[in-house]
Amino acid sequence: MSKITINVVAARANVSKKTVSRVLNNEPNVSDKTRKKVTDIAEELGYKPNPLARGLASNQSFILGLLYDNPNTNYINNIQAGALQVCQDKDYHLLIHPCKASSDQLVNNVKELISHSRLDGLVLTPPLSDFPELIDFLLTSKTPFVRIGATENLNCSSAVVSNDEQTSYEMTQYLISLGHTAIGFVKGHPQHNSATERFQGFQRALKTANIKLHEKWLQQGDYTFDSGEHCARQILTMNEKPSAIFCSNDYMAAGVLKVANQLEISVPHQLSVTGFDDAPISRYIWPTISTIQQPVEAMARQATSLLIEKLKIPDGEETTVVLESQLIKRESSAPPFKRISR
Amino acid sequence: MSKITINVVAARANVSKKTVSRVLNNEPNVSDKTRKKVTDIAEELGYKPNPLARGLASNQSFILGLLYDNPNTNYINNIQAGALQVCQDKDYHLLIHPCKASSDQLVNNVKELISHSRLDGLVLTPPLSDFPELIDFLLTSKTPFVRIGATENLNCSSAVVSNDEQTSYEMTQYLISLGHTAIGFVKGHPQHNSATERFQGFQRALKTANIKLHEKWLQQGDYTFDSGEHCARQILTMNEKPSAIFCSNDYMAAGVLKVANQLEISVPHQLSVTGFDDAPISRYIWPTISTIQQPVEAMARQATSLLIEKLKIPDGEETTVVLESQLIKRESSAPPFKRISR
DNA sequence: GTGAAAGCGCTAACAG
DNA sequence: CTGTTAGCGCTTTCAC
């Protein structure tokens, strides 16, 4: 069906190939009249430029790579959806590339990927966004890239980030405003800088409110359900328990909920639990988990747009865009249990 | 860095371009000696053929499309992972394409996608695998495709399927073997043929065991958590309740669990609940859900391999591969509650 | 403003 | 078994 090439459009419009090409690429030096004529005829014929030919001639591939190493399928799915939207819109392809951050072959893998698939640019997601070796390589090889959720070296590339520290601060403030002063915390995966940010926001809120952080209620998780379970078992079997536990993500919060249930600690009556990410599980579990929603899809959209812009203006400025997260109050948080005392 | 084209390889090997090309594509009519020489030199130079040039010349794109419309991010992620593995292995690209099965523009969308992105072939996932209009279009336009989880018209294309009906039968048998005779059922999304298969397996097991299916305990869900909740509320507020509920997927089972909890019906003590799919939530919720695990990733791998083979031998036979699912017993199923009577 | 010629890196079709 | 000659459909260069 589609044997419509640039040649037939040119012939029909009585202009040269090059003029059609100019119109297609929005180049200057075409009279408005010619431009319109070509546009109309292209439209009428349903002409679509062949990306392969285009790429071959201009040494581009119109393929963007999306790199990730993230166990959280929900996060990745949202990222993909956002990136895909922009790609479709701007006639780029998106190559999904899962990889292992822990592998010492990471940089080599990516190098191979770029050269082999002729990628025009890369979108990095956490924790890859803050991987020094990878960043270094991309910088020295002059591969265009943008980073999502990066926290370090923000001026070395464009980036789209959320304000985890601040939202974490607000979540903690919320717990404090409910009356909690004995608050535990389950940290996220040490390789993810979000884990640090979230913890820092928590610390800052405690300091501001003059509340002491009990080391014993501070546990190191790794963003998995199992780690949440494990940490909760540590905290909730102590004699002196906190009245609230702030978990660095929802899976860990779900793990805490499970342990609370097993230990017959009623949530939120005897214990408040909060999460982060607004993962589906936060709505499916009972009680539903108070959490924080990041605009993940919007972040991916922004990042992809930035990347494509950068491809067009290679020496443009590096931008950092901050998108705001949002606190979602659900059933797992409430004022602390008051012992009927005296 | 990579200015190594077929020309430099040819020059270095003292042969023509075409000979190099032949070696690369594993074509016959090259002496072993020449073949080895070329292979070695290509290796040494780290030569990688430019897919764009290759595609342009041979009218292929080496891009496969993965079509889906599925709310289940976990399923899609596994499918993607499997398809990706094979694509990387065989030097294909995978273009992820979410779409709306409900849209009357579906066929047009896909048509546009294929022509615009020059896709070589398509992998279809449920419920798209059984969409007559789409299948018809692909067939008449001679677009190569394979289907995952198709149930209809199995000889019109290669397909990779699982034995949902049989596994559903076995799950039901398992419930019966525990002693359940009053068993409710929550159906899946009517647009997914898996929903029918799962229900049929259930029916067959009941019939085999001579157990009557109570219409009132049969509810129509749509594979979402919310629908599970809704159906459970119907069933569990009746005077006469079943002692087990078989849900067509895990999200709905989780919804049932939530309602049971609210109604203070203890699972599995007073009520057994089973799911389907082995979604993460089946392990994260309490009690953990007895379910069925499909080899989703392996299915995607198979399907992608079949597609690539078909691309090479366009008139080869259409194959149907069946992969076995597996019953996973967890905490949500147990023998029925015996009233301490008389 | 526009066009002609050359070529991106590869494969197809044919010739030897 | 191997090489030659033409392109694939587009962009680039440079001329007009």
pLDDT digits (tens, 9 = 90+) for B276-328: 999 999 999 999 999 999 999 999 999 999 999 999 888 888 999 999 999 99
Predicted confidence band of residue A70 (pLDDT cuts 50, 70, 90): confident
Number of DSSP helices (H) and strands (E) in chain B, helices first: 13, 12
Calculate Rg over the CA atoms of chain A.
25
* Structural tokens at position B2: 């990579």
pLDDT digits (tens, 9 = 90+) for B66-87: 999 977 889 999 999 999 999 9
Q: What global pTM score does this model have? A: 0.91
In chain B, the percentage of residues whose pLDDT exceeds 90 is: 70
- Phi/psi for B298 (5° steps) reads -65, -35
Mean pLDDT, residues A168-179: 98
Best of A96, A223, A264 to mutate (most B CBs within 10 Å, chain B): A96
Is residue B2's pLDDT more than 60?
A: no
With beta carbons under 8 A apart, name residues in chain B contacting A115: 1-2, 48
Looking at strand D, which nucleotides approach a protein CB closer than 7 A? Answer: 1-13
> In order of start, what are the domains of chain A with their CATH numbers?
1-26+47-53 (no CATH), 63-163+295-325 (3.40.50.2300), 164-293 (3.40.50.2300)
What pLDDT was estimated at residue A316? 84
Predicted confidence band of residue B251 (pLDDT cuts 50, 70, 90): very high
Mean pLDDT, residues A60-73: 90
* Structural tokens at position A92: 């780029």
What pLDDT was estimated at residue A218? 98
* Per-residue b or e along A117-143, where b marks 16 or more CB atoms closer than 10 Å to that residue's CB: bbbbbbbbbbbbbbbeebbebbeeeeb
Least confident interval from B1-10, B22-31, B48-57, B256-265: B1-10
B5/B17 Cα distance (integer angstroms): 10
* Structural tokens at position A40: 């109309």
Residue type, B143: T
Q: Average pLDDT, whole number, for chain B?
A: 93
Is residue A121's pLDDT more than 90?
A: yes
Looking at the complex, does the CB of residue A166 fall below 8 Å from at least one CB of chain B?
A: no
B247/B184 Cα distance (integer angstroms): 8
Predicted confidence band of residue B341 (pLDDT cuts 50, 70, 90): very low
Q: Are A2 and A42 in contact (CB under 8 A)?
A: no
CA distance A250 to chain B (A): 11
pLDDT digits (tens, 9 = 90+) for B98-138: 999 888 899 999 988 888 888 999 999 999 999 999 999 99
Packing angle of the helix pair A6-13, A32-45 (nearest 10 deg) = 130
Is residue B1's pLDDT more than 70?
A: no
Least confident interval from B241-255, B263-277, B300-314, B327-341: B327-341
Q: Are A206 and A213 in contact (CB under 8 A)?
A: yes
Mean pLDDT, residues B204-217: 96
CA A206 to mean position of chain CA atoms: 27
Looking at the complex, does the CB of residue A258 fall below 8 Å from at least one CB of chain B?
A: yes
B19/A297 Cα distance (integer angstroms): 48
Looking at the complex, does the CB of residue A2 fall below 8 Å from at least one CB of chain B?
A: yes
- Residues around strand D, C-beta < 7 Å: A 3, 5-7, 17-18, 20-21, 24-25, 49-50, 53-54, 56-58; B 14-19, 22, 29-31, 33-35, 53, 56-57, 59
Asked whether residue B91's C-beta has any atom of DNA/RNA strand C within 7 A, the reply is no
Is residue B339's pLDDT more than 60?
A: no
With beta carbons under 8 A apart, name residues in chain B contacting A74: 73
CB contact under 8 A, B285 and A285: yes
